[in-house]
């Protein structure tokens, strides 16, 4: 299985025949029950050991099914918080929720060819009454107002979906994403030595894949606290390498330790520069759910 993916567009819109949902800030996952329950990342890794409470609750649902949704941690305002999700992934701090927004099959009947709104009606009935498995609500037509509300609440963005669209294992224009802030997944290719009182590393050298080659897109040193520096450095030490993984070797001002291009993180930034670099990137968290080879510029 490959999740249906959305295409990034610049502006929200109002249009009949479209629905609009919150863009959850978490880990995309399939919940598949065929005997035992499997919670699977979009990179086809098992989340069962990482989120046992969700697995236990999903196992209580009747029948056999495949659900598509997002694993999130909510802050005090009810907003999904990616940094809190990182803490839970590592230290089991917080309460995870699974927001389901689609259903692919039920009791071995393939539902992918049904219109989206029909699938969502079935989904809502299947997960009714669950505490931490929740139905992802939507509104009809009014994408501009929904986007303004998302901006005001500080959400990552919204997803627009054609109400009659079928489910496809691909990226299509039947699902569109409109972000309130610029976010990009990147592959870590190295790190620089720290300066002054900073510990562990100074900045991460980051890139995206283009035609199978890792292109350098800049470095990110902001967004870290001491705990994050320790956690990320522990991951970096496991994948150190003797050669540069980038197509063209970057030349920062401080010595670099190269790493194998296996780790993915997410950054927030102001814009892409004319030479293909990220301006003012800020570290938002590691992406344990994304395979590095799939990371390209959006």
**Which residue, among 215, 199, 198, has the nearest Cα to 207 in the 3D structure?**
215
Burial of 248 (0-12, 13-18, 19+ CB in 10 A): exposed
Cα–Cα distance between 130 and 126 in angstroms, integer?
A: 10
Q: Which pair of tokens denotes residue 147?
A: 């986007």
- To the query of whether residue 92 is one of the catalytic residues in this protein, the response is no
Max Cα-Cα span within the chain: 61
Cα–Cα distance between 7 and 104 in angstroms, integer?
A: 20
**Residues sharing a CB contact under 8 Å with residue 125, sequence separation 6 or more, in sequence order:** none
Which residue among 16, 23, 199, 284 is the active-site one? 23
**Which residue, among 218, 206, 199, has the nearest Cα to 263 in the 3D structure?**
206
Q: Which residues are catalytic?
A: 23
């Amino acid at each position: 299985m490959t999740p249906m993916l959305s295409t990034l567009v610049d502006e929200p819109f109002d249009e009949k025949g479209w629905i609009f949902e919150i863009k959850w800030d978490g880990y995309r996952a399939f919940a598949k029950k065929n005997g035992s329950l499997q919670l699977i990342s979009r990179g086809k890794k098992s989340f069962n050991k990482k989120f046992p409470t969700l697995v236990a609750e999903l196992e209580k649902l009747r029948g056999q099914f495949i659900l598509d949704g997002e694993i999130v941690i909510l802050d005090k305002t009810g907003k999904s918080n990616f940094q809190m999700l990182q803490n839970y992934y590592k230290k089991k701090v917080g309460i995870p929720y699974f927001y389901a927004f689609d259903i692919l099959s039920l009791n071995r009947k393939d539902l992918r060819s049904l219109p989206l709104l029909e699938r969502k009606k079935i989904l809502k009935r299947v997960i009714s009454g669950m505490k931490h498995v929740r139905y992802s609500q939507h509104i009809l037509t009014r994408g501009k107002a929904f986007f303004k509300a998302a901006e005001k609440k500080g959400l990552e963005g919204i997803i627009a979906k054609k109400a009659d669209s079928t489910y496809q294992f691909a990226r299509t224009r039947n699902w569109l994403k409109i972000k309130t802030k610029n976010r990009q997944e990147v592959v870590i290719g190295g790190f620089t030595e720290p300066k002054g009182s900073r510990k562990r590393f100074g900045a991460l050298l980051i890139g995206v894949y283009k035609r199978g080659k890792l292109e350098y897109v800049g470095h990110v040193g902001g967004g870290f606290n001491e705990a994050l520096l320790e956690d990320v450095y522990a991951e970096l030490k496991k994948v150190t390498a003797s050669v540069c993984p980038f197509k063209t070797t970057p030349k920062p001002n401080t010595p670099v330790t190269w790493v194998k291009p296996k780790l993915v993180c997410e950054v927030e930034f102001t814009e892409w520069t004319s030479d293909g670099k990220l301006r003012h990137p800020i570290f938002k968290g590691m992406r344990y759910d994304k395979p590095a080879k799939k990371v390209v510029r959006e």
